[in-house]
A and B are shown apart, each in its own frame.
Chain A
């Protein structure tokens, strides 16, 4: 009796999680895949097996343009979150000796997340706008005579807002990686005559790779599916796949939206697998 219980115990223990995964992850995704092959008749969808949705997507030049635009945002946001995230994490991990101060400063990094992301986004508008604070400042100190339009409702604004929203996702895992680095390794490198830059390049950055990879996965997946920020900050002038899907759902074109969602999922998975191949996160953790 006890023996058989031991045999099935792992399965019983894993059952709740498996059920949750099946119900809330596998089942919805399977439904989306199924619907993506359905037909759409203008106001309703009917079960069918047609490739029309996919053919439509792959033969439209909008798809390519939209993916390129999405990739551009992903690339820029990833670059800037990394460029900001790494130094901040480094500073927190190595320059602050006091653990309590470390915690306080870490919490300071999360302050922007105490409000909803819509509010964080909208707060940029009066700042960057034509009659906004930044333009007024520039005019007052004589840098420019006329308001600069590209601050708001532009790609610049989109990237700025997303970097603002997502840098924390880069900071947290990198900070975590940096905190796990044995301080004796650094001491050893210094003893062996490595300069500060060499220590950074040969010891710290390689050991921070898992953190960078996890942070990148966060930032890439969040940016790939993004539509609210892109819409609000570009004033609806820039496209993203998420926004395209949203427009289709709004017009009740579920099968087409589902097909787009499936493709987006595939593309995102490919990106994540590429990151995982570069760094074996499991081993490094």
Chain B
């Protein structure tokens, strides 16, 4: 070993310090994963049939490698995926239109994205199975008298159509031009640990119940969290909203002061921002009742821990995602993109997603790719006649289990409000920061 002098040690020490400092500073801790969505690396592709490569940005499940592989196999061109958080997805869609060909986003981001003019309306006449899409998206009504028909917030139907081929303004009725073609959606509600709660949770109001002081959580994404808070406040009779998805400044002031008051009283254990966090809160027992996403409940259950996705009497908060086209697409690239959309609706993807608890935009098509038992469990709300296994081979539900909330019509029909972007969005974020800082 070489002799080490004091001077050398000092130099090494400083260098190590500088190295540590630079690596620390260079880190940019991005938000953790989104639902079912670990960022997947690019992979080698052996398909040489077509030269087309479509670049896709998205938050959702379309970013799953299995779906990408199947699509490339069936369609013969290449896809390049970029998995992002909801916020990053919007940012890129709005500010970097050259970076993507296909936008996979949520309907509630459209009031932000569409005015930027970066999305090209989808020509509905080129979508083969458009008439098979669930009417929530195409006409706005599911069945007579369904609460979803009069739901509040950025319901998909409000942002489904634009006025024409070059328009970036929403149309109030069906036109031949769509913003996104839907492929997945669900109804969100509260999740709880029946073993720690000890009874059935039937109302949103329970989130603020003193009984669970210090054991609840709400999600810390302003546009979604505020709606969950509004559901609670309304259920408790504390206040009423003209439109929970588009609050006035006064309503925002009032709901924020309720939230701050509950926070100071120690109602919340913590807030979660990412899917993984909500799973950890629940499975570690830190939180017994919280706003949750359906795959998060599934993830908790797959660890062998009881978790219920509570059907609540006030109804659900809905969300929906779909595929849109970048303004830059033209010619053969655009043809490929339309092929992709049509493939997306064809059923294989719908079945793939259906096995994880999401709903497909064209359920009849998805059914063709699902077993009778799977269809009965996920869509009809019947008891599972066999173990329910997700596409990755994990058993989600044992035979005999029944889906929380029941059938498709019962769950989606009771959506009373959708994830939303409000006119007072800037003010909302300001008030939300106030709540976090309180």
Give chain A's interface residues, CB within 8 Å of chain B. 40, 42-44, 56, 60, 62, 65-66, 69, 99-100, 102-103, 106, 110, 113, 116-118, 125-126, 129-132, 149, 152-153, 168-169, 172-173, 175-176, 179-180, 218, 222, 228, 231-232, 234-239, 243-244, 247-253, 256
Contact = CB atoms under 8 A, between A and B. Distances in A.
8 closest Cβ pairs, A-B complex:
A235-B270, A236-B271, A172-B17, A239-B437, A250-B87, A43-B112, A153-B270, A228-B29
Contacts of A40: 426
Contacts of A243: 436
B327 interface: no
Interface of A, secondary structure class, is helix
A169 B9 contact: no
Interface of B: 1, 4-6, 9-10, 12-14, 16-17, 20-21, 23-25, 27, 29, 32, 87, 90-91, 94, 111-113, 115-116, 214, 217, 220-223, 263, 268-273, 277, 280, 284-286, 423, 425-426, 429-430, 432-434, 436-438
Contact of B112 (A118, A132, A169, A252): A252
A62 B284 contact: no
A131 B288 CA distance: 13
Nearest to B280: A125
18 contacts: A43-B113, A56-B430, A60-B430, A62-B430, A62-B437, A99-B4, A100-B4, A110-B16, A117-B27, A129-B286, A132-B284, A149-B214, A168-B20, A180-B10, A235-B271, A237-B268, A250-B87, A251-B426
Contacts of B277: 232
A148 to B, nearest CB: 12
Contacts of A247: 222, 429, 432-433, 436
B263 A176 contact: no
A44 B280 CA distance: 35
Contacts of A99: 4-6, 9
A130 B273 contact: no
A146 to B, nearest CB: 11
A126 B270 contact: no
Contacts of A125: 280, 284
B274 to A, nearest CB: 10
A118 B27 CA distance: 10
A252 B94 contact: yes
Given A62-B430, A103-B4, A131-B284, A172 B94 contact: no
Given A172-B14, A247-B432, A236 B270 contact: yes
Contacts of B29: 117-118, 228
Nearest to B437: A239
A166 B70 CA distance: 47
Greatest chain A CB density within 10 A among B5, B277, B423 is at B277
A235 B269 contact: yes
A236 B430 contact: no
Greatest chain A CB density within 10 A among B16, B214, B217, B272 is at B16
Contacts of B214: 149
B271 A237 contact: yes
Nearest to A236: B271
B117 to A, nearest CB: 10
Given A60-B430, A251-B425, A43 B280 contact: no
Nearest to B6: A179
Nearest to B223: A251
B284 A175 contact: no
A157 to B, nearest CB: 10
A42 B20 CA distance: 40
Contact of B285 (A60, A103, A131): A131
Contacts of A252: 87, 90-91, 94, 112
B219 to A, nearest CB: 9
Given A103-B4, A176-B17, 18 more contacts: A62-B434, A99-B5, A100-B1, A118-B29, A129-B284, A130-B285, A153-B270, A168-B17, A169-B20, A172-B20, A179-B10, A236-B270, A236-B273, A239-B437, A248-B429, A251-B222, A252-B90, A256-B426
B268 A130 contact: no
B284 A153 contact: no
Given A42-B426, A60-B430, A172 B13 contact: yes
A125 B285 CA distance: 12
Contact of A172 (B16, B113, B223, B425): B16
Nearest to A183: B6
Nearest to B436: A239
Contacts of B270: 153, 234-237
B115 A43 contact: yes
Contacts of B12: 103
A43 to B, nearest CB: 4
A230 B438 CA distance: 14
Contacts of B220: 236
Given A172-B13, A175-B13, A236 B272 contact: yes
A179 B9 contact: yes
B20 A113 contact: yes
A201 to B, nearest CB: 24
A153 B287 CA distance: 11
A23 to B, nearest CB: 16
A270 to B, nearest CB: 20
Contacts of A131: 284-286
B14 A176 contact: yes
Nearest to A218: B21
A250 B25 CA distance: 21
Contacts of A102: 9
B433 A62 contact: yes
Contacts of A60: 430, 434
Nearest to B12: A103
A235 B287 CA distance: 11
A117 B286 contact: no
B119 to A, nearest CB: 12
Contacts of B111: 43
Contact of B286 (A152, A232, A239): A152
A196 B24 CA distance: 37
Contacts of A180: 10
Contact of A236 (B10, B21, B27, B436): B436
Contacts of B223: 251
Contacts of B221: 250
A169 B17 contact: yes
A113 B426 CA distance: 39
A57 B285 CA distance: 38
A64 B269 CA distance: 25
A173 B433 CA distance: 36
A60 B437 CA distance: 12
